[in-house]
Structure 1
Amino acid sequence: MPVYKNEKAKGDKKWYYQFYTGKIKNGVRERVTKRGFKTKKEAEKAMIEARAAYQKGEYLEPSKKLYGEYFLEWLKSKRNLAESTIDQYDSYFRTHIEQGIGHIPLAKITAHDIELFVDSLQKKGLAPATVKRIFSVIHASLHSAEKKELIRKNVANKVEKPQASTRRELVVWEPDFVSDFLKQTKGKSRYWIAIYLAIMTGMRQGEILGMRWSDIDFEKRNLTIQQTVTKKRQIKPGAKTKLSMRSVALSPETIEVLKEHRKNVIVPEMVKLGPDYQKNDLVVCTNFGGPVTSRAIQKVWDSFLKQTGAPKITFHDLRHTHASLLIKQGVHIKVISERLGHSSVSITMDTYGHLMPNMQEDAAAGLDSLIKTTSTNR
């Protein structure tokens, strides 16, 4: 059998196979060689598969392109994905994939390589859900490579899919704590308004950063979400989904807080800079009118948590806090769903249903006020 062991090869993958195709190319008998097997048995099995594929005309010449190079080309071609999703995948690549398996040739990447990579992510302490998403991205990219016949098969199919743990328990603040927190932090940063709006409207961070003064109807106390700001500080028309393009009612106090912010922060800067002020019409903006980065908001958020000694929650948890405040008031779940811009009420129920422990009890007790079957002794 034309299977050999190269004692000079580095590491433990010293076995390789080689066979002649029966064709002559440039006066030389054409042969196929593939290296990098740990055992003779693995090499023999791979050679048998390669020979069979060659006879059927299905053999693919191994590509010398690195997986990292291919991944970036694949990501660039995904024009149907939302920009935020593209940014997330790119972040996975730069932070984890590139250094983990990006250096391996696309044609030589194995299921074992991916298993070791997944293990390394888990050892880093990444959340199970994050590990699962990164694996799914790798699987999708290799699936595309298989369809384009760049590789014979998607080796990720042989890897057990990482399991995400149960959903993280939502951490929300109580009404009294929210009030104290806002009072303690007000006036300590121009970006305080973003935190206030997250609590009072339940909007996503990108929606808050993309909010314009022209989107607000001060008389009807209503705002319309029509654009967002991406993590790359780009203003993007539209929202996360079609249902995210929505109207959100504002409380009387929220209207007054917005007016105060415009009067004390925005207008003075517009007057000071004059024509140099960027006319983006943004409510939350830099001191020259430009869009704000999520990093800038995060820096202020972390500072406020430290200053107040508040329980550590994420900025996004303020959206959950908003939902919990509405639930405490007995607001109908459909109204909450509409305010949050969920694609369906079922998503809202799945996310916040556990915050309504007394709903069935209250419903059962309420029936007694309608139906009377027992007599009352007077």
Structure 2
Amino acid sequence: MPVYKNENAKGDNKWWYQFYTGEIKNGSRERITKRGFRTKKEAEKAMVEAQAALQKGEYIEPSKKMFQDYLNEWIKTKRNLGEQTLELYESYLRTHIIPILGQIPILKLTAHDIEMFLNSLHDKGLSASTVKRIFSVVNASLNSAELKGIVAKNVANRVEKPQASSRRQLVVWEPEFVSDFLEKTRYASRYWIAVYLAVMTGMRQGEILGLRWSDIDFENRNLTIQQTVNRHREIKDGAKTKKSVRSVALSPETIEVLKEHRKLIVQERVELGPEYQNNDLVVCTQFGGPTTQRAIQKVWPSFLKKTGAPKITFHDLRHTHASLLIKQGVHIKVISERLGHSSITITMDKYGHLMPNMQAEAADGLDSLLKTKAGQK
């Protein structure tokens, strides 16, 4: 393999490759050379990719490659990301990054270009947290470019990283209000069941819309999250992360509510007959098809208006579920498992502030324990 290593007095031990294109240029066989790889394996991999691109007629000389061309190649390698994360990255590329930075050759991209780009995002009125996430995408792409030897250095590392503003304070409902809210809205829409499940299980919206009757064990009172419905009404296997594919215990009342809702679904299926789209979904249209997230968001404001409820988002019901468990003294590990968090750290980071009284209760409990022991002597 035409892969070489620099070994000189300057201590330059980087690897590089060189191969012939098969073309004659200015009377000599044309060669493609690329330097700056940290390992032999990286150089070999980059050379194979360059040769494949050359055969397909897609090879672009590094000096002429635009940042947008590189970004479009880079995002195709990120298939290990969750679906929603990948959609978000692609949206940032399409809407913000490529329109501003895309036409700059990647080798000519500077820290100043990145700084001006960040300024333009702030000028658009984007939140600090959104700007930080967009910058993270640019930074990750350039880290990968440096690792592959496409650029010598990631210029984004020379830019002061944007700081996110303080996290939005979680808004949750008290138990008494939740009960009243669910009772007043129960027959307001066929999609009430989605609201109920959000409160009683803490499931994400996509998980609720993807829930099937076959995923529910009525006898043992639990459900298993195995698929989701995305914003395009597509049913997807799996969940947000491996940890999100999980079982969630159900209360006796939740089982009864689901049984009642199933009667409606069975009735619609019988009435429509062969025209019914039997996807086995718990939350579905009257024709059996997947429900759009937009449909849920459309009825949600009417529920708030009907009950005079404090304004929160549908996703905040997931936080309300967590707060209800915390008020019951449920162990944080159990809460983390129900929510499908990848670690307890995430759960504590989100909901730790809802537990201010737990240490006081623990301290008081020590007094009670020691007094009891003293009285037994």
TM range (shorter): 0.7 to 0.9
Task: Look up the match of 2:121.
Answer: 121
Percent same amino acid at aligned positions?
A: 75
Residue 233 of structure 1 deviates from its aligned partner by 2.3
- Alpha-carbon distance in 1 for matches of 2:199, 2:319: 9
Q: CA deviation at 1:101?
A: 2.6
Farther off after superposition, 139-148 or 211-220: 139-148
Corresponding residue for 2:242?
242
State the match for 1:232 in structure 2. 232
Cα distance per residue 1:197-235 (max 9 Å; x no partner): 001100111211111001111122111111222233222
Is 1:279 the counterpart of 2:246? The answer is no
Matched residue of 1:228: which SS?
strand
Report the CA distance between 1:245 and its aligned residue: 1.9
Distance in 1 (alpha carbons) for counterparts of 2:328 and 2:261: 27
User: Aligned to 1:347, what secondary structure does the other structure show?
Assistant: helix
Structure 2 match to 1:270: 269
Tell me what 2:304 maps to: 305
Say whether residues 1:219 and 2:213 are aligned partners.
Answer: no
Aligned partners of 1:132 and 1:163 also within 8 Å: yes
Kept in 1: contact 2:82–2:241 (CA 8 A): no
* Structure 1 counterpart of 2:37: none
- 1:62: Cα distance to partner? 5.4
Q: Mean Cα displacement is larger for which, 362-371 or 140-149? A: 140-149
Whole-angstrom CA distance in 2 between matches of 1:189 and 1:91: 32
1:236 alignment partner, SS class: strand
Q: 1:374 to 1:99 in 2, by over 3 A?
A: same
* CA gap 1:373/1:254 in 2 versus in 1, 3 angstroms: closer
Give a deviation string over 1:242-277, Cα, whole Å, max 9, x none: 32222111112211211221212x123212322222
Distance (whole Å) between structure 2 residues aligned to residue 280 and residue 75 of structure 1: 32
Residues of 2 paired with 1:157 and 1:275: CA distance?
59
The answer for the alignment partner of 1:130 in structure 2 is: 130
Structure 1 position 373, deviation (Å): 9.7
Distance in 2 between residues matched to 1:165 and 1:320, nearest whole Å: 20
Q: What TM-score do the two structures reach when normalised by structure 1?
A: 0.77
Range moving further from structure 2, 109-118 or 214-223: 109-118
* Consecutive unaligned residues in structure 2, runs of 5 or more: 1-24, 28-59
Tell me the distance in 2 between the aligned counterparts of 1:294 and 1:338: 24
Question: After alignment, is 128-137 or 95-104 more displaced?
Answer: 95-104
Q: Within 5 Å, which residues of 2 pair with 1:83-162?
A: 83-162=83-162
- Deviation at 1:330? 1.8
Residue number in structure 1 paired with 2:206: 206
Q: C-alpha offsets along residues 60-99 of structure 1, whole Å, 9 cap, x if unaligned?
A: 9654444334322221221222222111111222332233
Contact 1:171–1:313 under 8 Å retained in 2: yes
- The one-letter code matched in structure 2 to 1:174 is E
Measured after TM superposition, the shift of residue 375 of structure 1 is: 8.9
- Contact 1:326–1:336 at 8 Å: present in 2 too? yes
Letter in 2 for 1:228: T
- Say how many residue pairs are matched: 319
Does the CA contact (< 8 Å) of 1:84 and 1:231 recur in 2? Answer: no
CA contact (8 A) 2:83 2:240 kept: no
Supply the distance in 2 between the matched residues of 1:374 and 1:76 (Cα, whole angstroms): 65
Q: Which moved more, 1:205-214 or 1:85-94?
A: 85-94
Task: Return the alpha-carbon distance in structure 2 between the equivalents of residues 218 and 344 of structure 1.
Answer: 28
Contact 2:170–2:319 (Cα < 8 Å) also in 1: yes
One-letter amino acid matched to 1:361: A
